[in-house]
Structure formats: C-alpha cells, structure tokens
Chains A and B, each alone.
Chain A
Amino acid sequence: MQEVKVAIRNGKFTTSMQWGGSGEPLLFLHGAGGPMLGAPFLEELAQVFTVYAPAHPGFGAGTGIEHIDDVIDFALYYHDFLDELQIDSPHVMGHSLGGMLAAEVAALAPYRINRLVLVCPAGLWLEDNPIPDFFTFNPQQMVEHVFHDPSGPMSQMFTEQLQSPEAQLEMYKCLASTGKFLWPIPDKGLKKRIHRLQLPTLLLWGASDKLIPPVYGEAFQRAIPGSRLVHFASSGHMIMLEEQDAFVEAVSDFLLE
C-alpha cells in the first residue's frame, strides 16, 4: 500500500489516503481518533481487497471541513469521492464516527454499495444507556473506555503517543472536527434513515466497549433487518487493533461471501 494525495471537487477538499492491494474495492472510514493510515489491519485487508483509506476533512491531512455542515454533507462528500475516483460498487467499512458515516453513505444510496461493515458505529442514542461524554475525556479516561485491557501494551502505547504536544494537538483537532457531527449528543438523525440499509450488513462489537456499549450493537441489529452481529470477547472499542487477525478474518469472510 502507499500513501497518496487526493483532491475532491477541484481541490476544495484535499487529503491523504492509504491506498493499494487488489481485489474488490473497500472504502474504510476512520473514527474520531483520526486516520489510521499506517495501520497493519489495512495492509492485511489489502491482501484481499483494493483498500481506500482516506483521512476525513478536518482530520490528519484532510482539508475542507469548513465546507461540511452536517452528517449529510459529510456522506455526500464520500459519494463525490467515489464518483471522482471512479470506484464502482465498493464495500464500505466504518469505525465509530466512521461507522455512523458509513451507514449514512449507504442510506443515501444503498444500491451503489456492495456490502457494509459497521465497527462499533456511533449514530444511535439509547436513553437508558447513554454514550459517555468522550469530548471531556483525558487520555487516561479515553484508554479506560476504548481498550479491553486498560493496562495492556496497546493502552500503554496509546498513552505514550499522546505525551507529545503534536499528538495532543492532532487529537484536539480530530475531536474538534468530530464535534461537528457528534456534539453534544451523537444522535443526528440516522434513526430516520437507517431503514434504508437494505444491503448485507455486518456489525462488529467489542464485548468490553465502554465508549459505545454492546447494547448499541443490538439496537443496530434490530434496526437493520438481516444484519449479522459478531462480538469480540477480548476487545473494547478498537477491535481492529485489539484482535486484528480475528477482525480481518471476520471482515474478509463476510465481504467475500
């Protein structure tokens, strides 16, 4: 895979994208924490698919967030992205914020998407199980909520990475942009559109996800007829990092069915 520059709508938006592999096209939409451009799970998926993993506007190298006011603008941006890169009938996979976005992209035009994978997506709100206000989290609280093992090596690596001022600034920027779609409550109308997701859909949830608890997986499954829900026993909110091999296998098996 390689990192390439992309310009959308005549340069109104520019971004970096991890791109490569061979096989059916797979668009990956990242979560609130930022683009995962070098992540090994993308390399693994690129063994089987042609992976497109761009940074969203307002995240990492992505510019143009000021032209996007809400989640529908955001989803339409990705339709333009697919048009301009001439990506036909892609699989779409999204994580967390990106999961909500993937659902919105598919709800706007379900017939243009091949299969949909939602990895602990945001987008619904359950009064009895409110999603915590992660905008107020410090790094320690973030680790406790997103990792199955808050004292494990993955958590430590994450905490260490967040020591540098540059990383903190980037995290601030990512959360600021996320606020445009999830502030103050991550419920921006998906419930009015989710009935349109009449396409093969896989839901993946970490059993110990404390950011978007597994009860949300059941809510998504109920709302998307025929969808399949798979739990990962040793994952929190970061399944693709916490149980990479099982994650890649589950995604690949589903998309190749």
Chain B
Amino acid sequence: MKCHWFHLMPYQDLPEDFKEKHPSVWVDVSSELFDPARGHQFYNEYLDQLEFADSLGFDGICVNEHHANAYGLMPSPNLILASLARRTSNSSLIVLGNSIALYNPPIRIAEEMAMLDCISGGRFVGGFPVGTSMDTNFAYGQTPLTLREKYREGHDLIIKAWTEPEPFVFNGKYNQLRYVNIWPRPIQKPHPPVWIPGGGSVETWDWVAEHDYMYAFLSYFGYEPATQVMQGYWEAVDRAGRDRNPYRAGYLQLIGVSETDAQAEKDYAEAASYFYHRCLHVPDHWAAAPGYLTLKTIKSLKSPFSFEQLADLKWKDFVEQGYVVAGSPATVRDRLVEVIKEMNVGQLFSLLHFGNLSAELTRKNTELYAKEVLPFLREQLWNEWEDRWAPRPLKEEDRMPVAAL
C-alpha cells in the first residue's frame, strides 16, 4: 500500500457566514476576502507540512491545480513542487496535476515536468486532470464541448515531446508546432509515471485503462459514490484486458486520527465542516458548464452533479457515510482497510490537512497517522503486487543531497 500526503492548500479565513453572504468559493469569490499577509503564512505553513510528511516517510507528497478560488491556493502547483524538490529527499513528488487544456502550447507542461524530474532526481509523478468546470470553462474560458478533445491532443503531444529523441512536427487541431524539441528531458524513461485524477467521467476510465495509467478518484462524497466509480473503473480495466493490480487505482480520503473517537470529533469536526461548507460552497451553475460532462456521463449519473447536496451534512454524517475517516488509530485502520479492500485501491491520497485545520492539529494528525496507521496499511495490504506506477528515481548515491549551507 502507498500512502501519499495530499495538500489542497485552502484559504483558511473565510468568514463563518461565508455560505450565506457569498455566492461561491470559486469563480466569482471576492478577492477582498484574501489577505496576502495571511497567504504568506499559509503557503509557508503548508510547505512545512509537506516537508514534514517527507521526513516521516510518506510515499509521496502531492499537490494540485485550481484557479480563481479559495478552496485551493495553487494556480501553479509546479511552483510548489519546485520548492519541495529542493527541500525533500525521499518522497515521490506528485502533481495531480496540470490541466493540460489550459497551457498554450502544452509542451510547457512537458518542459516544467522534465525540470521537476531533473531537480528531484527522478522522484516526479505527473498528473493530468481535465480540470474542474470552474477552473477550465469559467476561469480559463475553455469551450466546454471541446475541452476533452483538446486535453487528449495535449496529452499526446506531451508524451511524444518526452519520448521522441529528435525534433518533430506536430500538426494538431489545437496545437501547431513546427519544431517540438524540449529541453531538459526527464530522468525517468520512457517518461515519468502518468496519473490521471478523475471525478467519475465514464470515458476517462477506458482511456486510462487503455494507456495503462494510474486512475485517482478524487472523491469528496463518501463511500457509496466512490465505490460505484471504482467499480466502473475496474470494469474498464477488465475490458482493456489489464490485471486488477490495486496500484493502478488511487483514492482520496479525508482522514483525522486522534487518541480516541470522541477526541477525533473535538479535533476535526470544525475543520471538516469548514471544508464541506465553505471550501466546497459551489452553486450548481458553476458545477458543470453545458458540454463539460459528456452526454454519456450525464446519463450515467443518478442525480445531477451538484455540490449543494453537501449543505446539511454534520460530523456524524461525515463519519458514517465516509466523507471523513476519523477516530482512534484502531478505528481509522479498520475503516481504511475495509474501504481500500472494497475498492481495491493501492494508492491512498491521505488528506490530513483540510479546511481550517490548525498547524498544530495537522502535525498531530500527520504524526499519529505515520506512526499508527501507515505502517499497518503497508504491512497488511497489497504486498503480493508490484507498484508499476511509482517513480523510478536515480540511485540514492547518485542523487544530490538536500544542501546544508
């Protein structure tokens, strides 16, 4: 089992009446709510947390990309990883990822990721999300109906840019380049691992399975929908004639570890509520622009895609329905093993900071998880399988150490 420490980097000072007074956390959220001095504090605190996770032996540290929002302060996750590449030495550096269709031309991604792979000595994992509708269609103006086609063309271009040794011509529908020849090139051959974060779009499953990539379901809606999505993915894996190696699947989970179940509520209930009721305060009209979801995906949904369903949930619901796995180490271990086995996932994106969780509690959560949960999961799960989706860094003796000045 692989456990990664995933940071969303939320803005923590949204007011208590945010949901009532403000239309949305995304797209048209007022920048008057953002205090740059607090931004300074958050970025540095969050980088500390990711570096701490590396020092405790997490398999990977992970960040992602969002725009025009207070949910996650990383329009450029590659900047964050560049900093982490210099300050960590063991963990995989995972970006989940860069929204391909937003880069013009997308070889920019191939270049930056190759830089990150070189700086980190080959510890890099490149994730390629389509991106949310808020990020791609509304904040970045991409046409919803052609977003996925543009995304796939960009993907083909990036992979070719990484793997083709000589300059080549790329005559695409969205990109025309006479001379593609990126410098630097990634350390990892043929290219860094590609992980595809998804929100449950049907056609993504087949595409991921065909390409033999890792699929990461970034779910915030608890066990039931997550189980359904993973079931759909595994069926696509079967269709593609691939094995059911759990490492080809990942899953994001909010996790809170405390001394006891009761203490977990005291420690994490407020932050969970902040996350679900402020960070995910997204009205339906931003959730999916017309054309963002394919008709096939829409027909597969039981109810319209909506964040507004989260509005009334309380701590008890979060825990019972699996939005958050929280409690004593034993409770967390049991619940995680149950879910992980049920979904057959080998990569767990552990969200150990969420909402407005304090630095102190984040440290506690991370330490308890690293000590009481992570070793157990590693020992119990999936040792019979090989993780073919992990980065292949240079040998330790060939890697530059973190500099002590």
User: Using a CB–CB distance below 8 Å, which chain A residues touch chain B?
Assistant: 65, 69, 135-138, 169, 172-173, 175-180, 183-184
Contacts and interface: CB of A to CB of B under 8 A. Distances in A.
A226 to B, nearest CB: 35
Contact of B145 (A138, A169, A179, A184): A179
B285 interface: yes
Interface in B128-179: 137-138, 141, 143-146, 173
B295 interface: yes
A89 B143 CA distance: 34
B137 A177 contact: no
B284 interface: yes
Given A138-B284, A184-B137, A184-B141, A179 B295 contact: no
Contacts of A169: 295, 298-299
Given A135-B290, A137-B285, A138-B285, A183 B143 contact: yes
B286 interface: yes
B291 interface: yes
A224 B72 CA distance: 48
B289 interface: yes
Interface-centre pick from A138, A179, A180 (highest chain B CB count, 10 A)? A179
A135 B144 CA distance: 11
A160 B285 CA distance: 20
A123 to B, nearest CB: 17
Interface of B: 137-138, 141, 143-146, 173, 284-286, 289-291, 295, 298-299
Contacts of B143: 179-180, 183-184
15 contacts: A69-B146, A69-B173, A137-B285, A169-B295, A172-B290, A175-B290, A175-B291, A176-B144, A176-B290, A177-B291, A179-B145, A180-B145, A183-B143, A183-B144, A184-B138
Contact of B285 (A136, A176, A177, A178): A136
B286 A136 contact: yes
Contacts of B299: 169
B141 A172 contact: no
Given A65-B145, A136-B286, A184-B141, 5 more contacts: A135-B290, A138-B284, A173-B295, A178-B290, A184-B138
A184 B140 CA distance: 9
A72 B143 CA distance: 16
A65 B291 CA distance: 12
Contacts of A172: 290-291, 295, 298
A179 B141 CA distance: 11
Contacts of A178: 290
Contacts of A137: 285
A254 to B, nearest CB: 34
Given A172-B298, A184-B137, A184-B141, A179 B290 contact: yes
A135 B289 contact: yes
B298 A179 contact: no
B305 to A, nearest CB: 11
Contacts of A69: 146, 173
Contacts of A175: 290-291
Nearest to A178: B290
Contacts of A177: 145, 291
Nearest to B292: A176
Interface-centre pick from A65, A175, A176 (highest chain B CB count, 10 A)? A176
Nearest to A176: B291
Sort A-B residue pairs by CB-CB distance and give the 9 closest, nearest first.
A176-B291, A175-B290, A136-B285, A176-B290, A184-B141, A183-B143, A176-B145, A179-B291, A179-B144
Contacts of B290: 135, 172-173, 175-176, 178-179
Nearest to B173: A69
A179 B285 contact: no
Contacts of B144: 176, 179, 183
A22 B372 CA distance: 83
A173 B145 CA distance: 10
A67 to B, nearest CB: 11
B150 to A, nearest CB: 11
Contacts of B141: 183-184
A186 to B, nearest CB: 12
A164 to B, nearest CB: 13
Contacts of B289: 135-136, 179, 183
A203 B145 CA distance: 30
B153 to A, nearest CB: 13
Contacts of B173: 69
Interface-centre pick from B138, B141, B145 (highest chain A CB count, 10 A)? B145
A69 B150 CA distance: 12
Interface-centre pick from B143, B144, B289, B290 (highest chain A CB count, 10 A)? B290
B49 to A, nearest CB: 36
B302 to A, nearest CB: 12
A95 B313 CA distance: 45
Nearest to A173: B295
Contacts of B284: 138
A132 B75 CA distance: 27
Given A135-B289, A176-B144, A183 B137 contact: yes
Contacts of A176: 144-145, 290-291
Contacts of B286: 136
A227 B284 CA distance: 41
Interface-centre pick from A69, A175, A184 (highest chain B CB count, 10 A)? A184
